[in-house]
Amino acid sequence: MKLIRDLESIIEPFKNAVITIGNFDGVHIGHQALFKKVTEKAKDIKGTSIAMTFDPHPLRIIKKNGFPPLITRYDQKIELIEKCGIDVVICISFSKEFASITAKEFIQDILINRIGTKAIVVGHDYAFGKNREGNLEFLKTHTKNLGYDVIVVDWIEISNGWSGRISSTKVRELVIEGRVNDAKKLLGRFYQLKGKVVVGRNRGGKLLGFPTANINLCDELCPKSGVYAVIVEYERKKYKGVANIGYSPTFGDQKFTVEVHILEFNKDIYNEEISVEFIYRLRDEKKFSGISELHKQISKDIEKAQEILEI
């Protein structure tokens, strides 16, 4: 897959370009359906399958605050799009200037003239460009004079055990509510956090008997506080684990942490990158009357996690 970060670097249009355009935060099953249609159509017309996306997320530029936490960070998003079999990802560095381009200019100058678009694949509620001018109706009225096809993907076809609307907003809601199992239905994979292992309080192993790797988060989406059965990936190997998200109320901590106790593991992994897949939410975080009560509960959590992760 080819990654393009700058439109200027496209010196000649792609052969029979089939394109889909979006933020694709989360690369959920709705997005995956769009990519599938793009690759199928590109195969049909012996062309190039293209996904255009944006980084940073346009809302971070348009809205000063109140933008949503990301489901997938930039590198993870690109990696997931690549897995869908797309030939070229064009990732626009979103700016106020880019936002001011009209839908007509965007289609004519960028999609047609520069990229060589022959077909645009969209969901039925799609709109782009300044003031969301570039909606489906708009796209369709320009097909004849600009010479491209519009292909609409019906998202109902791909429900995957989920009957509601599929959107990044819905995925965020589910993760924030701790409903990682439902989030999985929409993502087509488990929700995953990636981060560097940082120094914690150095208490888990010594005092409690369960050492934890504390993960440093930037501003990505974090599941609801609580205890989860997880799968940890480190150096391409997978391990079972139990994660705790929250404030460790037993110790009266004021600091929010994401920490994971990795089963059958005793390496020093400070400063190393790990990823944590959230498989199942075991319980809420609780204030225990003492260390031994908390220790007992964590032993039970591990037992339950072992059972869940066995299958």
Binding site for ligand RBF (CB under 6 A): 200-201, 203-204, 208, 210, 212, 227, 242, 244, 248-251, 259, 261, 285-288, 294, 298, 301
User: CB within 8 A of 113, min separation 6: which ones?
Assistant: 13
What does 298 interact with, of ligand RBF, Mg ion, none (CB < 5 to 8 A by kind)? ligand RBF
Handedness of CA 168, 172, 174, 175 (dihedral sign): positive
Pick 280 or 288: Cβ nearer ligand RBF: 288
What does 134 interact with, of Mg ion, ligand RBF, none (CB < 5 to 8 A by kind)? none
Among 178, 195, 204, 241, binds Mg ion (CB under 5 A): 204
Q: How far is the CB of 196 from ligand RBF (least distance, A)?
A: 17
Distance CA 19, CA 32 (A): 13
Query: Taking a C-beta distance cutoff of 8 angstroms, is the pair 272, 192 a contact?
Result: no
The 3-state DSSP composition of the chain as helix, strand, coil percent (nearest 5) reads 35, 30, 35
DSSP 164: S
Q: How far is the CB of 197 from Mg ion (least distance, A)?
A: 9
Pick 166 or 208: Cβ nearer ligand RBF: 208
Pick 147 or 249: Cβ nearer ligand RBF: 249
Q: How far is the CB of 59 from ligand RBF (least distance, A)?
A: 34
Instruction: Give the SS3 label for residue 127.
Output: strand
What does 168 interact with, of Mg ion, ligand RBF, none (CB < 5 to 8 A by kind)? none
**Strand (E) or helix (H) holding 189:** none
Query: Taking a C-beta distance cutoff of 8 angstroms, is the pair 180, 278 a contact?
Result: yes
Q: Which residue is nearest to ligand RBF (CB)?
A: 250
Q: How far is the CB of 205 from ligand RBF (least distance, A)?
A: 8
Q: How far is the CB of 268 from ligand RBF (least distance, A)?
A: 16
**Token reading at 302:** 């591990």
Using alpha carbons, select from 14, 9, 7, 26 the residue that is nearest to residue 186.
26
Q: Rounded to 5 degrees, what are φ and ψ at 184?
A: -60, -40
What does 55 interact with, of ligand RBF, Mg ion, none (CB < 5 to 8 A by kind)? none
CA distances from 145 to 91, 175, 206, 298 (A): 27, 44, 72, 66
Q: How far is the CB of 218 from ligand RBF (least distance, A)?
A: 21
Binding segment toward Mg ion, per CB under 5 A, in 134-142, 193-201, 224-232, 273-281: 193-201
Pick 166 or 274: Cβ nearer ligand RBF: 274
Q: How far is the CB of 82 from ligand RBF (least distance, A)?
A: 34
Query: Taking a C-beta distance cutoff of 8 angstroms, is the pair 45, 125 a contact?
Result: no
Pick 138 or 265: Cβ nearer ligand RBF: 265
Instruction: Give the SS3 label for residue 46.
Output: coil
* Amino acid symbol at 127: A
Interface residues toward Mg ion, by CB under 5 A = 200, 204, 212, 214, 259
